[in-house]
Structure 1
Amino acid sequence: MSIARLAKVETQTLRLLQPTYRTTKAIDTFIQDHPVTRALRANPKFTESRPHLNGPELLRDRKLLAGSLAGTQMISVPPYVFNETNGKRMVMILHVGGDVCSHPDIIHGGLIATLIDDTFCRCCSAVFPKRVGVTANLNVDYRKPASAQSYIVLRAEMAKMEGRKAWMEGRIETLELDGGDPSLIAEAKALFIQPRKTEGMGL
């Protein structure tokens, strides 16, 4: 599937979520209306989607971010994802609740690493010929605890690509309620590899 075709399919996911709970609606509205989201939406280099809503519901339930970690007190609403047209940059915006903590009101560091890994993988998979990449190495430097009940932004960029290998860099930061400057939560670098056999491994 071409990048253009993939972008069209994923863009259709924007119409799939109809929030039912008042809290969920408020979270979704806040992300949609935030200046960071509006700026990305206005940038012609990026395509907006919600890929964690893609595919049959039964299959989504078996995936970590779309299933096990999805919920009003976990990953509260399906993340908003912005892909650069050439597939080399990605921004993901989401809200994290209070049931994924390691200490009171502090998001578990393992979840931070998982979110980075997911974003990196989605970013580089868009440019691999077979559209699939797996993590070979991931290094995370934690800079500041991430608070529960907060909005966060993940930024991923491909630093280099050689054959079946892609080197990724990125960071996770706060999405401030008042539109102020974000605080850096973590930085990361990773190596992803396209497997020789990719049947059944699509995102």
Structure 2
Amino acid sequence: MDSLDHAHFAAIPWCARHLQGDRVIARPPSCRTLKPADEDTLFADTLNSERGILRMLQVYEEPLSPTERVNEVKAFVTLGSGLNGYPSVCHGGLVMAILDEVISDLVPINQRRGTAPGGAHMTAYLNTNFIKPVPTPATVLTRAWFTKIEGRKYFMQGTMEDEDGVVLARADALFVQLKSSL
């Protein structure tokens, strides 16, 4: 766990409430680590700054059974003013990119647990509704959950919320397990 990310969100009272519990797993999402062949450069490098996405922490509850799927993941994201599309408002494309990233994290979390087949997956669609402007600078909570799994298809939904739980954006997504790696 990146102690700076955890400490940052633990110091924010409304975030700290989500970090409590014996089964809570909290760590930076994999997209914040640069990989070979420039994978994840958008979140690990380009957006990883004071004015971009300063901090990001993935949170989920470890299921009671090792064979049980993780059905929901949360991610706290601290947004800087360098993400503005309009004064003090995060660009809608970045809101979608964050939703896409957090929603897609459900698959590798479950792959590591052995509750989802291994292999690469990609976004087939991400239908997003912008309900209220996402403010910057601010810390938001992004949630994602499975709605249905059919073979190689993962149907999921996600929201981006403010500290009061007000939904700012909502997305329906389909991710598809690739037949072969890229």
* TM-score bracket for the superposition, by shorter chain length: 0.7 to 0.9
Q: CA deviation at 1:171?
A: 0.5
Matched, 1:111 2:94: yes
In structure 2, the partner of 1:83 is 60
Letter in 2 for 1:190: A
Instruction: Determine helix, strand or coil for the equivalent of 2:81.
Output: coil
Instruction: Determine helix, strand or coil for the equivalent of 2:2.
Output: helix
The match for 2:152 among 164, 172, 188 is: 164
Could you tell me whether the CA contact under 8 Å between 1:124 and 1:158 is conserved in 2? no
TM-score by length of 1: 0.74
Change (3 A) 1:143 1:53: closer
In structure 1, the partner of 2:173 is 190
In structure 1, the partner of 2:161 is 173
Matched, 1:65 2:43: yes
Matched, 1:126 2:109: yes
Could you tell me whether the CA contact under 8 Å between 2:58 and 2:74 is conserved in 1? yes
The answer for unaligned runs of 5 or more in structure 2 is: 63-68, 111-115
Structure 1 runs (4+) greater than 6 angstroms displaced: none
In structure 2, the partner of 1:8 is none
1:38-85 deviation line (CA, Å, top 9, x unaligned)? 33322344311113444669957x5211111111001012x1101333
In structure 2, the partner of 1:47 is 25
The match for 2:80 among 97, 115, 124 is: 97
Could you tell me whether the CA contact under 8 Å between 1:160 and 1:168 is conserved in 2? yes
Instruction: Determine helix, strand or coil for the equivalent of 1:110.
Output: helix
Q: CA deviation at 1:144?
A: 0.3
Could you tell me whether the CA contact under 8 Å between 1:93 and 1:153 is conserved in 2? yes
TM-score by length of 2: 0.82
Letter in 2 for 1:104: P
Could you tell me whether the CA contact under 8 Å between 2:60 and 2:73 is conserved in 1? yes
Could you tell me whether the CA contact under 8 Å between 1:130 and 1:198 is conserved in 2? no
The answer for unaligned runs of 5 or more in structure 1 is: 1-12, 20-27, 176-180
Q: CA deviation at 1:174?
A: 1.0
Letter in 2 for 1:168: M
Q: Percent identity?
A: 23
